[in-house]
Structure 1
Amino acid sequence: MRIIKDDEFIRAKVPMTKEEVRTLSLVKMDIKEDSRILDVGAGTGSVSIGAAVNCPKGEVIAIEKEDKAVELIKLNIDKIGIDNMKVIHGLALEELKGLNGKFNSVFIGGSGGELDEIIEICYNLLYDEGNMVLNFITLTNAVKAMDKLEEMGMEYECVQVAVNRIKGKSKMILANNPIFIINGRK
């Protein structure tokens, strides 16, 4: 699996899934070279671009509502050299309803407050045996997602990841926010 480093992405004031969390999330997505992948709430596009480099014969669709984020995703697609990815600019619920076909994996990194509905639509867009991977910074949303997956009869696991970086001459430990990674299988 090819992992793109954080410093390879063009950054701005747009949320980005950090390298270690992104790596674990991509592994849990079980990407094959011909996978069809959906990224909901794509931010900088770090997860969807990471998926695209690992499914060169497949397709990645990223949905993002923020103008600046969509511009950033397109810049990162050009910078990394991705040709198997489509960016949809719009609200997740509206755009999800217009998608055709099934997906091997769905990544949900943002929900705009409509988490239950997004999970339900994404579940229906998954192939049988497909994976849904969700990342959350808050326990409230992680629990809400697990409750929804359980309600739909989806098997899942949840891990909480905390990454710290050691910097400077004094070897100061700088913590990133802990992240909940939920992986469900249809």
Structure 2
Amino acid sequence: MIYIKDEEFIRGNCPMTKEEVRILSIAKLELKPNYVVIDVGAGTGSVSIQISKICSEGKVIGIEKDKDALEVLYRNKEKFQADNFEIIEGEALDIEISESFEGVFIGGSGGNIESIIEKYDKMLKTNHKMVLNFITLDNVYKALNKLKNLGYKIECSQIAVSKTKGQSLMLIANNPIFIVSGKKQG
């Protein structure tokens, strides 16, 4: 599978999970081609679209509430012909979904991380993974505690990426990102 580069995505004014973090986060999900995966806080769709290419026989559902992000999300879905990618507009805690999933990715929580984990835990199949990305220590702490209390086998990685820019190849740092992953136990 060839991973999609950052510059290939339509960006707009919404945040995007950067390439290196996106690749590592998706790898932590341990996906197979027929998996059904949900992306909470889909943003530009960079994670959802990449997952849709990996899970080509399965399906991806992206949930997004921000109007600006939704506009970009639909445009990226069309650009990458992600036909197995379904977009649901709205607040992650208000949406009713009756499906179960082999993977849950949470890239945005709107300040409700513990409630979102609790809700989507009920939809995640046993022995499958929930992966979450954070910038703030507060959310990392809340997520780790909630997953631990739900009986998940958890791990956390902090990723710091710097990239060269310009003729001098000066390194420019991106914000460090925490990748929390939890495997739902039986």
Q: Does the alignment reach a TM-score above 0.5?
A: yes
Which residue pairs with 2:36 in the alignment? 36
- Offset from partner CA, 1:17-57 (integer Å, 9 cap, x none): 00000000111111111000000001101001110011111
Could you say what the CA RMSD is over the residues aligned between the two structures, in angstroms? 0.8
Gaps of 5+ in 2: none
The aligned amino acid for 1:12 is: G
Which residue pairs with 1:86 in the alignment? 86
More helix by share: 1
Correspondence list, 1:1-186, <5 A = 1-95=1-95, 98-186=96-184
1:2/1:53 contact within 8 Å kept: no
Distance 1:24 1:185 in 2: 16
Structure 2 length as normaliser, TM-score?
Answer: 0.97
38-47 vs 166-175, which deviates more?
166-175
Gaps of 5+ in 1: none
By how many angstroms is 1:173 displaced?
Answer: 1.1
Distance 2:168 2:49 in 1: 35
The aligned amino acid for 1:25 is: S
The SS at the match of 1:72 is helix
The SS at the match of 1:28 is helix
Distance 2:20 2:162 in 1: 10
By how many angstroms is 1:171 displaced?
Answer: 2.3
The SS at the match of 1:93 is coil
- How many equivalent pairs are there? 184
Structure 1 length as normaliser, TM-score?
Answer: 0.97
By how many angstroms is 1:170 displaced?
Answer: 2.3
Distance 1:84 1:2 in 2: 18
By how many angstroms is 1:169 displaced?
Answer: 2.6
Distance 1:100 1:36 in 2: 13
By how many angstroms is 1:70 displaced?
Answer: 0.9
Distance 1:63 1:101 in 2: 14
Residue identity (%): 51
